[in-house]
Amino acid sequence: MTTATATAFTPAERAEYTELRNRLSVHAHDQIDWSRLKQLNEIQRAINWETHLAVRENDDYARFSQNFEDAISTACDLEGYAYYYGLATLDGELTTAKIVDGRYGQVWLIKKGYTADGREDIEWVNVSVASTVAKEQKFYEGKGYQLVMVRAQGVMRGSRWEAGMPIDFEIATDEEQN
């Protein structure tokens, strides 16, 4: 395989880059050579920078393209996964929870299922503002939960790399923040 200069693709590399990007769209993450995709994506970034340098600030397509290339770079760094904090019960069951803006600050919105009359059963838990994860864990344990780091299959949504379906999780610790 030939290597391209910093600002040009060979026809074979253009085809390879297109194929790897398409695999992101169909969630074929196990069929992607992440280091090769990152290498080709850096070439595409250089090409776009030179091509759109004069119009980048006023060109929405150029901005979208740059965001897309940033998302691909993130996907390559994480090898196709996305990570986020979540809540699990003390029994180790991952909840469907997300942080939302409440009336008095941020809160966890936890979806627990549905009530007998068909309404959604929701619980609200304040977001801990503790200085360490160990202190946060103590706070959440009092509410019946534990803070976890969730590993999810990453997905491209528009020009963003986001978390898809959760794969697994582990209890959050202070070491992860370093």
Structure tokens at 68: 């897309």
Are residues 94 and 172 located together in one domain of the fold? yes
For 165-175, how does the pLDDT look when each residue is reduced to its tens digit (9 = 90+)?
Answer: 888 888 888 77
Quick one: 123 and 158 in the same domain? yes
Question: Of 52, 79, 106, which residue sits at a domain end?
Answer: 79
Q: How many domains does the chain have?
A: 2
Q: How confident is the model at residue 131 (pLDDT cuts 50, 70, 90)?
A: very high
32 and 52 in contact (C-beta within 8 Å)?
no
Amino acid code (one letter) for 167: I
pTM value is 0.68
**Helices 34-52 and 60-77 meet at what angle, rounded to 10?**
160
Dump pLDDT digits (tens) for 35-94: 888 888 888 877 776 665 545 555 555 555 667 778 888 888 888 888 899 999 999 999
Residues 94 and 70 in one domain: no
Q: Which amino acid is at 77?
A: D
Residues 45 and 86 in one domain: no
Q: How many residues does the chain have?
A: 178
Q: Is residue 129 part of a domain?
A: yes
C-alpha pair distances (Å), 22 with each of 61, 74, 111: 19, 16, 34
